[in-house]
Amino acid sequence: MGLVRVQGAVAVMLLTGSAVAAIGPVVFVGLVVPYLARYLAGRTGSEADNRLLLPLAALLGPCLLLAADVVGRVVAPPIEVQAGLLVAFVGGPFFVVLARRRRLAEL
């Protein structure tokens, strides 16, 4: 039984690693969207209501990725910029601003 668990864990790790390697910067969608949903809903901290935030995040995620794909196709007409690069381009500065805002709030 122990050998089956180890083999299963190794298989899960390999599949997860390959999926992350294939998708790459699109992971920023999963990180940015919940914060964006909280901002748009106007609720932060303990007053957040998941009955509103979860459906809003479920709608914002595909919208963000679709917008990044459309912009990537329009920005440089002969070539297509990957949607993952555009999401990372937006997600990176978003997290810098978020971290600086939290750090300033702690001071």
Is residue 106 predicted with pLDDT exceeding 60?
no
**Secondary structure (3-state) at 107:** coil
* Residue 100 CB partners (closer than 8 Å, separation 6+): none
pLDDT at site 47: 63
pLDDT at site 63: 92
Closest of 69, 60, 51, 72 to residue 31, by C-alpha: 60
Please, what is the average pLDDT of the chain?
A: 81
The answer to whether 56 and 37 have CB atoms below 8 angstroms apart is yes
Of residues 84 and 70, more confidently modeled = 70
pLDDT at site 71: 92
Each domain of the chain, given as residue ranges in start order, spans 26-106
- How far is the C-alpha of 107 from the C-alpha of 99, rounded, in Å? 13
